A and B are shown apart, each in its own frame.
Chain A
Amino acid sequence: MTYSTEKLYEEKVFKDPVHRYIHVRDRVIWDLIGTREFQRLRRIRQLGTTYLTFHGAEHSRLNHSLGVYEIIRRIVDDVFAGRPEWDQNERLLSLCAALLHDLGHGPFSHSFEKVFDLDHEAFTQAIILGETEVNKVLTRVSDDFPQKVADVIAKTYENKQVISLISSQIDADRMDYLQRDAYFTGVSYGHFDMERILRVMRPLDDQVVIKHSGMHAVEDYIMSRYQMYWQVYFHPVTRSAEVILTKILHRAKELSEQAYFFAYEPYHFLSMFKGNVTLQDYLKLDESVIMYYFQMWEDEKDPILRDLCRRFMNRNLYKYVEFDPSKEYKKLQELEKLFKKAGLDPEYYLVVDSSSDLPYDFYRPGEEEERVPIHLLLPSGELRELSRQSDIVDAISGKRRTDHKLYYPKDFILDNSSKRAVKKQIREILGIE
């Protein structure tokens, strides 16, 4: 027996609130779970700042990664095994790629990536291919195995069926996070009949398609996705927290560039400020480290950094008004001037947040060779794009998906102890007078 086929003496199971149990029998998977790079995911929340809106949303990227692994395990062992269109030699590769697909995520990665120009996908590749415990485990399978896992996650692997399982418009990643995020936020959307979808998935040529009889289960999945985006992922309070978090990072970076003397040296941030982050620097970051700095910065001399950190830590978030850039961009320019007069730096205290600033997407039919759409396999053997067959999906696909909000610190604007007249003007323009 080789390492790649070695099984544990007894199957290990993890209790899981979404899938009930996560089953591990392969030695390689068990060893990967035990690596320090995988365990680091325990200290990174799956939904970033969403816990400030939905207090239950404290689940980690490790929970989700195990969930994606379990879904793929069920597909390759229970649904695809024995089908002529599926190459069972890809089983272990699919399981490893599923388990490791989010390995490069950092703390609050969306904000960090924006401010420090980082890319979690590049770090996923670096962890898999670099000098890490994960790489050692994968190399024991074969010398080229780490590269294959990296290629699947980067969507550049030869066998596109494997890629589709983990990353497509109906993939294990989305099927896990929709259900998991719904469970932990406590919302009633996000539920769909995953068992049914798994049963009607079929490997075909270079993709994974859905048997036509499973269309209604897929409609439910698309509806769940739509509801979760508007009700959870695009939630204005979460976006407010994200705005403040991003501004904290911007401010810290700006201060560092100005050679500001931090009362407590931001050791973990230094390489990010300088733009030369190594893999080892990156792996030392997690949310507990970041929150520690934010807590320290609550007492910094710089009034903006101090204020932003206090807001984030104590959930004193910005309020918002709906904003229509097409009609109100001149109003925004006026507000920027008034904020300056009021002693508030608009760069930090007046922020437009757009739906395109968020890392979530809607189902797209994939016209003109964008992303590969969901294809239904008709009884005749013909393939048909989902929205052409389903009125429900067609209706959702055509919906307006964009939204802009203007965030500001209402408490400062309502504080009449200084700059009274200017603040009154601001309130009038914002429509909160």
Chain B
Amino acid sequence: MMKDHVRLMQAFFASGEIIGRKKLQKMIYIAKKLSFPFHEKYQFHFFGPYSEELTLRVEELCNMGFLTEQKEKKSGYIQYRYGMTEEGQAFLDAQQVSVMRNLESCLCDLNTQSSRFLELVSTVLYFEGLEREALVDKIHIVKSKQKYTAEEINEAFSYIEHLKTFS
């Protein structure tokens, strides 16, 4: 029943609290790229890979009362904070499915990173078919406003290698 919703609930269960919609988007995208079974369709948008399907599914889970969404005003922007409710936990328990241990470790690791860094990592993964030099050029084109340094880009490549140990 509602398998994609259940998978997302498992992701929230594994991650604990997730701060920021952008972070959530990138965490699920990266996990999907690592072959974890998420089926949300992603497209490239100005801020990197983005899934409208994921946005709507999370909204559904909030409306069902399975997730909480807290809106916080930051200087110049609004940030959202997500967590699982008791009803959500009961729903997940009723499904009798366990979270894959690797997925749990992977999501917890991703959740410790900044959304800026995950935006870079997900962009690198989005263009993974390109040669490294062309990929770096592409990052500078599509992410010109973020002004990622060579050091950050190298760190993203290393981090992806680290993430592959989870998949």
Contacts and interface: CB of A to CB of B under 8 A. Distances in A.
Interface of A: 113-114, 119, 121, 154-156, 158, 160, 324-326, 329-330, 332-333, 336, 352, 354-356, 361, 364, 367-372, 400-402, 404
A368 B94 contact: no
B65 A402 contact: no
Given A355-B60, A372-B45, A402-B63, A329 B91 contact: yes
Interface in B54-93: 55-57, 59-60, 63-66, 77-80, 87, 91
A154 B50 CA distance: 12
Contacts of B2: 325, 329, 352, 354
25 contacts: A155-B43, A156-B138, A156-B141, A156-B142, A326-B63, A326-B65, A330-B94, A336-B1, A352-B1, A354-B57, A356-B53, A356-B56, A361-B52, A361-B56, A367-B77, A367-B80, A368-B79, A368-B80, A369-B47, A371-B50, A372-B45, A372-B46, A400-B63, A402-B59, A402-B60
A155 B1 contact: no
Nearest to B142: A156
A325 B53 contact: no
Given A325-B64, A356-B56, A402-B63, A156 B44 contact: yes
A29 to B, nearest CB: 25
B104 to A, nearest CB: 23
Given A326-B87, A356-B56, A361-B56, A368 B66 contact: no
A155 B44 contact: yes
Given A402-B60, A404-B60, A370 B55 contact: yes
Given A113-B41, A119-B41, A367-B77, 20 more contacts: A155-B44, A155-B46, A156-B141, A326-B63, A326-B66, A329-B1, A352-B1, A354-B57, A355-B60, A356-B56, A356-B60, A367-B21, A368-B79, A368-B80, A369-B47, A370-B22, A370-B55, A371-B45, A400-B63, A402-B59
Q: 3 closest Cβ contacts across the A-B interface?
A: A326-B64, A356-B56, A356-B57
B43 to A, nearest CB: 7
B56 A402 contact: yes
A282 to B, nearest CB: 17
Interface string B79-123: 110000001000100100000000000000000000000000000
Chain B, interface residues (CB within 8 Å), range: 35 or more
Contacts of A372: 45-46
Contacts of B94: 329-330, 333
Nearest to A346: B1
B21 A370 contact: yes
B33 interface: no
A155 B41 contact: no
Most chain A CB within a 10 A radius of its CB, from B53, B56, B80: B56
A329 B138 CA distance: 46
Contacts of A368: 20-22, 77-80
B5 interface: yes
A371 B127 CA distance: 20
Interface string B28-53: 00000000000101011111001011
A302 to B, nearest CB: 23
B25 to A, nearest CB: 8
Nearest to A110: B41
Contacts of B57: 354, 356
Nearest to A402: B60
